[in-house]
Structure 1
Amino acid sequence: NVAMDNGGYGLTSGLLQSAYMFSPNLPVRDENGDYSKKVLGTNQPNPVAQLELTNQTRTTRFLANVFLQYEPIKNLKLKGVAGTDFSQSEGYYYAPLSTQVGGANNGKADRRHNEKTDYQLQFSANYSTMLNDRHYLAVSAGTEYMKMGTQYLLAGNTDFVSDSFSWNNLGAGAGSKPTVGSGSTFAETLSYYARVNYTFDERFFLTANFRIDGSSMFGKNHQWGYFPGISVGWDFAREKFVKSLQGTVDQLKLRAGFGQTGNDNLSGTDDNGNAFTAYPYNVYRQSGNVIFGDTYNTAIGLYALGNPNLKWETQTDFNIGLDFSLWNGRVSGSLDYFNRVISDILGVRRLSSASEVTSMVVNLDAKKQTYGFEASVNTETIKRKNFQWNTGMTLTFYRDRWLKRDRNWVPKIYETEKAYMGEEWRLVSMGLIQPGNGVSYTSNPVPGTILFADVDGYMTKDGNIMYNEDGYPLRTGKPDGKIDEADLQKVAVNVPYTIGFNNTFRYKNFDLNIGMYGKFNQWKQNGLAATLTDAGILIEGSNQMVEVKERWNSDHQYGKYPSSLQRKYGVGKEFASDFYMEKAWFIRVRNIDLGYTFSLPAYKINSVRVYVSLLNPFLITPYSGIDPETDNNGFSYPNSRTYTIGLHINL
């Protein structure tokens, strides 16, 4: 909840970006005592002045749950639960005259009130019994009702005669367009479920369930969704043919599951990353003013088309796995393979550009698939009286791809119907153009600019791109003297896999825990380097990285970065290149904790543990940006390193 100023900078994002880019040769304040401002690139505020912006939020939250449980007969339990989660927050924002946004508006103040209220009611019946010491049966059924609501109120003003009012007297502002806004949302869900668990001789396991979910987010035609699930298991370590390994094999449980769940979250993003919100009915809102005679009248226009045929997005999961335990638990873990298919995907379909509303949220005739595997192994590596060493390792790998595209999908020349998510299609750079180099796609190559690979082209007829019967653009298969989408190449499939490794050591009263994890098969665009070595910000007088000394020039023709004659985008903003792409795998030591535990029986203290803890002590990575885990193609805040000294007393 960051208030945004008229330059597009939030209190946090603006401070971070301006701290990176503000001119380092300007003093904090000028000769008049005012905060220095840039002559060019004026949308970058003074980072020290940004500290005078006030953006406070006070939140109050109340949670309550009450339940009643009754057992009318043996093994049958009836339970009712009622709960509420209520929160309200008050936001206060003021930009004083000394700041850039405040000075441009003669002071700017906002106040916001937000409320969120959730209610939940549950009723369940559970019956379990054991028959002949070999058959275990548990049956449960229930219903759940949830109601979620939000509302907000916003008021703001500008043009104050003094900073002394802050946000406490919005009426004192003389702004020509005071901010007034309010709104509310609500949603209800009602669910019914039934579940059966059956175990035979602690060898065979069966779980079956069925859910019926209803949501007010959909129109009356498809408010209800029906979602079954079943899982089975077999611990064959208990079979006769494995009993010869008793003492070595404790558990070998093979299991498999199939199930479906529904998604009614109608706020998402389309294939291009644009946010959308769906509605079951047409939505209207204020759309400016119209003049009748000499009078301004508020105009109401259609904001979004409702879709009464919108239905639940369905997720179908299949998994198969193995749980194992060996040598009386000295080694244990699990192996899992999973496959997930999402159908009836909630997405956007474009309408005629002549329509009042040019898009509509629908269930796309498309499918997405996620598949992968997970593995975990835990060991009691050393188990002695005074020394123990336990380890835990996890591995997670998955891939996302399209299984089917919507019928209105228009493929680009490099796209395939079943493409993987995370494919990086970019122009491939071949170094920098040197004096005297010939370049196929331009008759006037500029030394020091990026040389791109011209590898392909569109097949055309009478100047128009040709397509095959499936709607795919046709390729020439050879360089065509142009740089366009046909020259994009797949430089990576950016789907990392994660490895975690945890070690716990105990020696007498000492304990030491070291936790680490890593992500591999990962690439990132170093947005910070791309921006802070870009010739464009040199024109604005912005700060730059010291690496700009490695920029190409006539006296340094083997420079690392392009000359000042080329912007970071290369050939047009629409074509991303791999020039600033970097390997971004990393190994992070998450924590190092060291403790010592002792008792003080004379003072009736069971135990005292003194400890020191280091959070995020170090990182191993080839990535040259701020942080390969949190960087998002721009100005990210680095992960902090935290040192803690503590004392834990158990009476």
Structure 2
Amino acid sequence: MQIPIAVGAAAFFDPTKPIYDEENRYNGYWNWGIVQGAQADLATQNPLSLLYDRNNHGTTKRSLGNIQLDYKIHGLEDLHANLNLGYDVAKTTGRNFVNSNSVQSSLDKTFTGLGQGNTWNNLRRNHLLDFYMNYAKNIESIKSNFDIMAGYSWQHFYYANHDITYSNPTEDLGAKEGYTYDENERHYIRDDHRRIPYENYLISFFGRLNYNFMDRYLLTATLRRDGSSRFSANNRWGLFPSAALAWTISNEPFMKATENVLSKLKLRLGYGVTGQQEIGDYQYITSYSFSTNPNTTYLGTTLLKPNGYSPDLKWEQTTTYNVAIDFGFLNNRINGSIEYYQKHTKDLLNTISAATGTNFINLITANVGKMKNKGVEANVNAIAIQSKDFTWEVGYNITWNDSKITKLTTTFNPDYQGIDAGTNQKHQVGEMPGTFYLYQQVYDENGKPIQNAFVDRNNDGQITEADRYLTHKSPMAKVYMGFSSQFSYKKWDLGFNLRANFGNYVYNGVASGNSTSNNYGGKGFILKSASNLNGNLNCSKELEHYAS
């Protein structure tokens, strides 16, 4: 059922109009009819017609399973073999049919007034295999503890979907592109050729070493080699190391005198490289799509059209450095940490515009640019009250983060205009990701925006796309905060969490859409009058005034 759409239609439908139509137009439901020789496609539809002239439902069956085996090697009790097998399989079937002679079918450009619909079924599978060996040993003679692990991981993702479109046989549709008549089902059918599976594999070899000396000095080192089928054979594998050092200062003998007050003090240093491969499948090779739209066919022939691709796609990599201090007071009744970090990301995976004539489509996935993040994170937790039956715990955290794009092209180009990140946003060097890219508003002496008055930033005497500018305002927040409180009384618990962020901007599209110029832009005399003031009226939708 079209319940969300019908609810909106119920709110906007003309209350003076009847629910049912005595002339039995549109299956007996009253709806706006023909206006100037065409169906009134912008008018609000009868909400009951939306509900009962359509049959739309689907069913999903899902199964998840996991089994883990842990085997202690005979004669080497410190050595364990671990096998983890898992799966997640989901199958969805559904149908969406619209009754003939309904206003919904009348609005369809292919089967005007005819019943129509489609059925679909899709299958998703996720299979996982993890195997690793773990050796842990405590050597008292040298006051050391070792924990060594090495393993292999394999994961397979699969997706397939099949759609079939139907139309009622109320007229000869045999000539319509891509449709055939099914004698058994008495439907005209178009098979959308979508029974093409999408799949990808992720394979990893990994190892880890944990070393603890005297319960004061700790070392952790890891190494991963990950392979993804989403990249070509030359770029499929990535190497991702990491290392961390920690010094538990509070366990040193010279800290013994302060242990009743300063119960924990630890210094941590970290370095690590991670990879990112979350893009679509088959982005690095040439693929083809069936042409089912009449605009993409040639003389009634179904064609295979090539899709865009980037043969040199590779892993996006982020290198992180961090230094932190963990602390605890009064037997850790008050505890927390302060951490400074830097993240450097290179070979960013993004969707960009392809240069004219270099690819089959306008947008492709590619590795473009670099980005830098730096910031400080701090948190503190405390047990405010603790008694036999009642406990009150509170926690507070705050993060300051500064994010900047540092490179977008392979060579320095001061004239490069950045990458579009949406209708009103851009990625540009020196700016935060997704910075708003808008027209500059003109204000009166009282600080109020002047309707349809914009700054001609390039002084060419007219307002055009060239007058947009980077506002240095981004939807990414500079500061994040959180507060939690947990009460426990005997077997009863009560808690809440508060979150906040500061320094980010939101573009008010509703206010922009309801602006005077947008509401009346279609009126010819107002359009002419307003345009004579300061150029292009339509750009009022992308004003800096609405980014706040």
Same fold by TM-score greater than 0.5: yes
Where does residue 452 of structure 2 map in the other structure?
450
Partners of 1:103 and 1:580 in 2: CA distance: 38
Give the drift of 1:502.
Answer: 1.6
What is the rounded CA distance, in whole Å, between the counterparts of 1:532 and 1:28 in structure 2? 30
Instruction: Please give the alpha-carbon distance, in whole angstroms, between the structure 1 residues aligned to 2:332 and 2:70.
Output: 37
> Which of 79, 82, 90 pairs up with 2:82?
79
Partner of 1:549: none
Q: Which amino acid aligns with 1:492?
A: K
Structure 2 partner of 1:601: none
Deviation at 1:213, TM superposition (A): 1.2
Matched, 1:173 2:187: yes
Amino acid at match of 1:280: Y
Q: Which amino acid aligns with 2:377?
A: E
1:116 equivalent in alignment to 2:132: no
Secondary structure, aligned partner of 1:411: coil
- What is aligned with 1:212? 225
Structure 2 distance, partners of 1:97, 1:340, is 58
Would the alpha carbon gap of residues 480 and 538 (structure 1) be closer, same or farther in structure 2, given more than 3 Å must change? closer
Instruction: Give the SS at the match of 1:222.
Output: coil
- Residue 542 of structure 2: aligned partner: 576
Give the structure 2 partner of residue 390 of structure 1: 393
Distance 1:122 1:536, change over 3 A: same
24 and 305 in structure 1: CA distance in 2 versus 1, 3 angstrom threshold? same
- Give the whole-Å Cα distance in 2 for the aligned partners of 1:97 and 1:242: 84
Note closer, same or farther for the CA distance 1:13–1:254 as it changes in structure 2 (3 Å cut): farther
Q: Deviations over 1:175-197 (max 9, x none)?
A: 7x565532211112221111100
Give the superposition deviation at 1:88. Answer: 0.8
Counterpart amino acid of residue 60 in structure 2: T
Work out which of the residue numbers 368, 371, 382 in structure 1 matches 2:371. 368
In percent, how many aligned pairs have the same letter?
23
Asked if the contact 1:432–1:449 (Cα under 8 Å) also holds between the matched residues in 2, the reply is: no
2:417 corresponds to which residue? 412
- Give the root-mean-square deviation of aligned CA atoms: 3.9
CA change 1:343–1:18 in 2 (3 A) is farther
Instruction: Output the CA distance in 2 between the equivalents of 1:92 and 1:325.
Output: 59
The Cα shift of 1:519 comes to 2.5
Q: SS in structure 1 opposite 2:260?
A: coil
Amino acid of the residue matched to residue 424 of structure 1?
F
Unaligned stretches of 5+ in structure 2? 171-182, 419-425
The TM-score, its normalising length taken from structure 1, stands at: 0.67
**Per-residue displacement from partner, 1:79-129 (whole Å, max 9, x unpaired)?**
222222221111221233475323434223211111112222221100001
Q: Which residue of structure 2 aligns with residue 495 of structure 1?
A: 476
User: Is 1:285 the counterpart of 2:292 in the alignment?
Assistant: no
> In the alignment, is residue 49 of structure 1 matched against residue 49 of structure 2?
yes
Tell me what 2:165 maps to.
156
1:361: how far off?
Answer: 4.8
Paired with 1:255 and 1:28, the residues of 2 have a C-alpha distance of 70
* Structure possessing the higher relative contact order (Cα contacts under 8 Å, 6 or more residues apart): 1
Q: List per-residue Cα deviations over 1:440-491 (Å, max 9, x = no partner).
A: xxxxxxx98333344x32xxxxxxxxxxxxxxxxxxxxx5543344463626
The SS at the match of 2:32 is: coil
Q: For 1:379-401, what per-residue CA distance to the aligned partner results, in whole angstroms no more than 9, with x for missing partners?
A: 11122345432112222332322
Q: Which residue of 2 aligns with 1:256?
A: 269
Q: Is the contact made by 2:193 and 2:290 (CA closer than 8 Å) also made in structure 1?
A: no
Cα distance 1:358–1:539, how it changes in 2: closer, same or farther (>3 A)? Answer: closer
The residue aligned with 1:353 is 356
Residues 241/95 of structure 1: CA separation in 2 closer, same or farther (3 Å cut): farther
1:131-146 matched pairs, under 5 angstroms: 131-132=139-140, 134-146=143-155
| Comparing 185-194 and 422-431, the one that deviates more | 422-431
| TM-score when normalising by structure 2 | 0.79
8 Å Cα contact 2:518-2:540 kept in structure 1: no
Matched, 1:147 2:156: yes
Q: What are the residue-to-residue correspondences of 1:494-643 with 2, within 5 Å?
A: 494-496=475-477, 497-506=479-488, 511-532=493-514, 571-573=537-539, 576-582=542-548
Q: Contact 1:427 / 1:487 at 8 angstroms: preserved in 2?
A: yes
Cα 1:508–1:310 change in 2 (3 A) is: closer
- The answer to whether the aligner puts 1:302 opposite 2:306 as a matched pair is yes
- Structure 1 unaligned runs (5+)? 4-10, 162-168, 268-276, 435-446, 458-478, 542-552, 554-561, 583-651
| Residues 149 and 59 (structure 1), Cα distance of their counterparts in 2 relative to 1, 3 Å cut | same
Deviation of 1:573 after TM superposition, in Å, equals: 3.6
- Of 201, 226, 233 in structure 2, the residue corresponding to residue 188 of structure 1 is 201
Q: Please say which of residues 247-256 and 66-75 is displaced more in the overlay.
A: 66-75
- 1:54-99 CA distances to partner (integer Å, 9 max, x unpaired)? 4322111122223332222121001222222221111221233475
Q: Which amino acid aligns with 1:419?
A: E
Q: For the Cα contact (< 8 Å) 1:65–1:83, is it kept in 2?
A: yes
Deviations 1:144-175 (A, max 9, x none): 111211111111213366xxxxxxx9943347
Q: Report the more deviating stretch, 65-74 or 26-35.
A: 26-35
Cα deviation code 1:256-298 (max 9, x no counterpart): 211112222233xxxxxxxxx653322133345445xxxx544
